[in-house]
Structure 1
Amino acid sequence: MSVPPVRPVRRGPLIAALLATGLLLTGCSGFGGTTDHADNVGSAPGEAAAKDKGAAVGADAAGGGTGLSAPEAQNVQQEEIPSLGPATRAEISPQAFQAVVVTGTDRDSSTSSVVVYERDPVTGWHAVSDVWPAHNAVRGWTDDHFQGDLRSPIGVFNLTDAGGKLPDPGTKLPYDRGSAFEASGDGFQGEALAGSFDYVVAINYNRLPGTTPLDWTRPLGENKGGGIWLHVDHGGPTQGCVSLPRWRMKELLRMLDPAKRPIVVMGDADSLSD
């Protein structure tokens, strides 16, 4: 069988038509319609568009897609009270958002310092005062306080009640004013005790919360002592309380807020660092 002769084809117009058709098709499949261009990042021209868009989205959800994922939430490391160790921190209630930290110089020292902290729900604890000088019991600190040992109890205690001989300076705590807040006589260094109870905050060691600081009920028994207060400093050691300069006591009373569940964290530096 003979092969018929091949007639020369006029290519110019035909090729131009085919190229025009191809370009139009490429435009629709690659970038036309409602296809999101971001879905095609990293694909060969026209490749991703040839796939079902729903499948591409499913691949993204499974971790195989090329789309950008939402940024991961970053955990904020909350700040802790720097001088406290894990055992002491464990005693602090998660409901407490205000802490008066009393740090004794050493176990047998009667001098200490006070810093007030508040806790932000996101960033954690931060100081809201500078360092205040203070006194504690003449023989220092103990984790087993009893009546007459002349040591301040170590621990974490709530602060719920205040009072004093002078008018309320503006505290949000319940404040009991009365002439019974009277201190007389001399301290361990011969200093006058007068005015020491002009402003007081009861420390909830062996006492009933929600009562005047003058309530002498002792839930743990009389032998475990009591009447442990924050009060005005008289210039020397105490029998068991913590004392601050008069103007610092007024400042503290104005800072304490029962809505923040204030506490006192008190003890010598080594004990608090445990």
Structure 2
Amino acid sequence: MRHAASVVRTCLTACAAVGMTAAALTGCGGTLTAATDRARDASPSRSSAEPGDPIPGPGQRSPGTRPTRHAIPGIGPHTMRQIPKRTTQVLVSATETKTGSRAHTTMYRLVADGTWKAVDDWPGHNGKNGWKKHRSVGDATTPIGVFGLTDAGGYLANPGTKLSYDRDPAYRSAAAATYGDSFKKVFNYLIAINFNRVAGSKPTDSRHPHGAARGGKIWLHVDHHSPTHGCITLPQSGMKFLLTHLDPKARPVIVTGPKPVISR
């Protein structure tokens, strides 16, 4: 198909469609926004996970007590310190090298003895140019770090997620109008990664608290069998699983990056 090469070079970036403007639906790396959006960039925001007081996860001890929290497999002490104390659900999306673009995502949950149990895992993709801690808009990299997961959306109806969910038919019509019917389903489900965004807003919100130059709208979404412009992809079944299992009370976060970095 004539649009396939375009998809390899960039993650789907939705444009104007029913109910949304091009600025509203730019995803996976974002673009420099209009002056009104840049003015809002100065507003304060908690755009990534922040530490808090410990609370028990499902099956843990009563409030005020908890076991010693062990390391997640493959995650080093520097990265573990960035995971909030209150978090009991963690996704890890990683590749073997910094330039890798075939991300593998694993979901973990904290169990009663303080260890992390792997719940499920899925193949997928990340930015075509790999990973970068200080990415720039348009560089086709996925940010390295630990980020909160608070808001979701998609073309399909809410499958039962406890996360905030923004359903809109424009997620599909914009993708189909730009890339053809073969790619219209990649935004069936998506979860916003809290990189340079206002947590608690719709995934399509264009505010960039740390500046428009860093880009934004980095999402987890349905895989299209090719690298992205910054997003991380999973099979649709994996996206539905995440939506129905992530719980805001567990303060879910995602750890992203190459294994040599996140293992530090």
Fold in common (TM above 0.5): yes
Match of 1:234 among 218, 224, 243: 224
Aligned to 2:90: 99
The aligned amino acid for 2:171 is F
Structure 1 regions of 5+ residues with no counterpart? 1-74
Q: Are 1:126 and 2:117 an aligned pair?
A: yes
Aligned to 1:271: 261
Deviation (angstroms), 1:195:
1.1
Aligned to 2:194: 204
Match of 2:166 among 163, 176, 180: 176
Q: Are 1:160 and 2:145 an aligned pair?
A: no
Deviation (angstroms), 1:194:
2.0
Q: Are 1:150 and 2:135 an aligned pair?
A: no
For residues 119-139 of structure 1, the C-alpha deviation after alignment (integer angstroms, 9 at most, x for no partner) is 13542322112x310100001
Distance 1:269 1:243 in 2: 18
Deviation (angstroms), 1:77:
5.8
1:117 alignment partner, SS class: strand
Identity of paired residues, percent? 42
Match of 1:244 among 234, 242, 245: 234
2:237 alignment partner, SS class: helix
Aligned to 1:8: none
Structure possessing the higher radius of gyration over alpha carbons: 1
Distance 1:180 1:221 in 2: 26
Aligned to 2:71: 80
1:51-62 to 2 correspondences below 5 Å: none
Distance 2:248 2:233 in 1: 21
Q: Which has the higher contact order (CA 8 A, sep 6+)?
A: 2
The aligned amino acid for 2:168 is G
TM-score (norm 1): 0.68
Number of equivalent positions: 196
The aligned amino acid for 1:268 is P
Structure 2 regions of 5+ residues with no counterpart? 1-65
Would you say the 8 A contact 1:192–1:234 is kept in 2?
no
Distance 2:235 2:244 in 1: 14
1:13-52 to 2 correspondences below 5 Å: none
TM-score (norm 2): 0.70
Would you say the 8 A contact 2:192–2:203 is kept in 1?
yes
Distance 1:269 1:171 in 2: 29
For residues 40-64 of structure 1, the C-alpha deviation after alignment (integer angstroms, 9 at most, x for no partner) is xxxxxxxxxxxxxxxxxxxxxxxxx
Deviation (angstroms), 1:76:
6.5
Deviation (angstroms), 1:186:
4.7
Distance 2:111 2:105 in 1: 20
The aligned amino acid for 1:97 is T
CA 171–76 in structure 1, closer or farther in 2 if over 3 Å, else same: closer
The aligned amino acid for 2:155 is K
Would you say the 8 A contact 2:155–2:170 is kept in 1?
yes
For residues 95-128 of structure 1, the C-alpha deviation after alignment (integer angstroms, 9 at most, x for no partner) is 1111011012311111011110111354232211
Distance 1:205 1:146 in 2: 12
The aligned amino acid for 1:108 is T
